[in-house]
Structure formats: C-alpha cells, structure tokens
Amino acid sequence: MEQVNDFIPAVNSHGYKHGYTLWAAELKETGELMGFIGLNYTDWESSFTPAVEVGWRLGSQFLSKGYATEGAKASLDYGFKQCGLKEIISFTVPANVRSLRVMEKIGLKRDVNGDFAHPKLAANHPLSQHILYRLRADEYLQGGKNG
C-alpha cells in the first residue's frame, strides 16, 4: 500500500508536468482496476535517453485479452497526435514474450543495436538485460498504425 500511495501522486505530478502519464486502466464493463497503461518520460542515463516510453502493467487476470495492446495504441495516438512527440520507445526483458508481442502489434520496431543493461538494476541481476523497441512519429503517422 505504501508503494501505491507513493505511485499515485508521482504519476499525477508527471501528468501535470508533461501532459501525459501512466494512466489507470479499468475494465469498461465493471470499472475494476486492471493496472496502468500510458506514457512515461525516462531520463535515467542510457544511450537512448531522454525518451518517452509507452508502458503497461496489468494484473495477471487481464493478460492476453488485448487490453495492453488497445491501451498502448491509444497512448501512441495521444503521444504523437496530441503531444507532438517525435519518438516513443518501449523496452522489456527478453523473456517477457507478451510485452514483446504488444510492442510489435502496435508498430514498434526492435532497435537491434539498442539492447541495454538497465541502469537501475545491478549488472548481474537476472532482469538487467533489456530489449529496446522504437517508433518515430513520421513512421506512425504514415504507417496506418493510428487507428
């Protein structure tokens, strides 16, 4: 509960500052909180930062139902069309096949030279290695991934 109490004001503040954030995602039919989906400004030290990441964290009962894909598409649309972002990235560990599939479904392309060790994790941590995906605004707006 302490993490939730810290997280909510942080994402709200992020939204006020940047015009986008990690939004609460709820099941339309019931209003049940599924998790969050949205855009997050990332400025920790890496070869590709500062950057805006599209990301999602959903409860296990909501996985493999298309919710992450639907929310991530809406986030890309908002980021590129409403916020005028030039590029949006996403990243995950190689074993997270579900998230990798979402990244590909929404039109992001793997940056084969962009894989990295997450700077917020120890180099020997099992989740340290990450795969980077990217999408530029011009690719998105010309590629039909906008609706």
Domain spans in the chain, listed from the N-terminal domain onward: 2-142
Q: Are 86 and 48 in contact (CB under 8 A)?
A: no
Q: Residue 98 is encoded by which pair of tokens?
A: 């579900």
Q: Which CATH class is domain 2-142?
A: alpha beta
Q: Mean per-residue pLDDT for 13-37? A: 93
Q: Residue 113 is encoded by which pair of tokens?
A: 């030279």
Q: What is the DSSP letter of 62?
A: G
- Could you tell me which residue, 117 or 7, shows the higher pLDDT? 117
Q: What are phi and psi of 123, to 5 degrees?
A: -55, -30
Identify the band that residue 126 occupies on the pLDDT scale cut at 50, 70 and 90: very high
Q: Residue 102 is encoded by which pair of tokens?
A: 């979402």
Hey, is 35 helix, strand or coil?
strand
The 10s digit of each residue's pLDDT in 60-107 is: 999 999 999 999 999 999 999 999 999 999 999 999 999 999 999 999
Q: Mean per-residue pLDDT for 33-48? A: 94
